[in-house]
């Protein structure tokens, strides 16, 4: 448990520092978006809150009500700045996230669970924050697509 907490804190720090590039600025008044903050992703969201970020959680369309309850104990009862549901299009979802941010800068968009990989990839690109990008040959979650990419 202690190792996992330290690893999550270290990982979160690396993600946000990478997202911020070499810029240094305060966390207060900045937004981190976490897509599908369940399982370990809930810990990532809590770490962002603990570091002073306003956390907006974004739920992908396939995340059921039941799946949303699968959060670690540390994330139960956490108060997020806002929640956004995936919309029909990525631009519409990004607009909803920007509206929820209320003018605060969005500094990172981090995937919390495997279900949110595709949305996080597209949303981070649309929000113009550091991104894995959009996988050009298909859905990055598809293992067959990944195997073909490695073979190429």
Between 69 and 93, residue with greater pLDDT: 93
| pTM for the model | 0.77
What are the structure tokens assigned to 42, written together?
A: 């809930």
Least confident interval from 5-9, 25-29, 104-108 = 5-9
What residues have CB less than 8 Å from 76, skipping those under 6 apart?
none
What are the structure tokens assigned to 60, written together?
A: 């992908």
User: Which letter does DSSP use for residue 105 in this model?
Assistant: P
- The distance of Cα 111 from the centroid of its chain, to the nearest Å, equals 4
What confidence category does residue 150 fall into, taking pLDDT thresholds of 50, 70 and 90? confident
For residues 49-76, average pLDDT: 93
pLDDT at 109 over 80: yes
Write phi, then psi, for 137 (nearest 5 degrees): -105, 15
């Amino acid at each position: 448990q202690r190792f996992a907490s330290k690893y999550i804190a270290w990982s979160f720090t690396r993600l946000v520092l990478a997202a911020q590039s070499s810029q240094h600025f305060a966390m207060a008044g900045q937004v981190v978006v976490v897509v599908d903050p369940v399982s370990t992703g809930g810990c990532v969201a809590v770490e962002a809150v603990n570091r002073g970020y306003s956390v907006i959680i974004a739920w992908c369309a396939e995340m059921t009500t039941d799946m949303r309850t699968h959060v670690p104990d540390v994330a139960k009862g956490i108060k997020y700045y806002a929640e956004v549901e995936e919309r029909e299009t990525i631009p519409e979802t990004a607009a909803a996230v920007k509206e929820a941010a209320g003018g605060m800068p969005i500094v990172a968009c981090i995937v919390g669970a495997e279900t949110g990989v595709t949305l996080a990839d597209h949303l981070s690109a649309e929000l113009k924050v550091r991104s894995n990008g959009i996988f050009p040959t298909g859905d990055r979650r598809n293992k067959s697509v990944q195997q073909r990419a490695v073979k190429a």
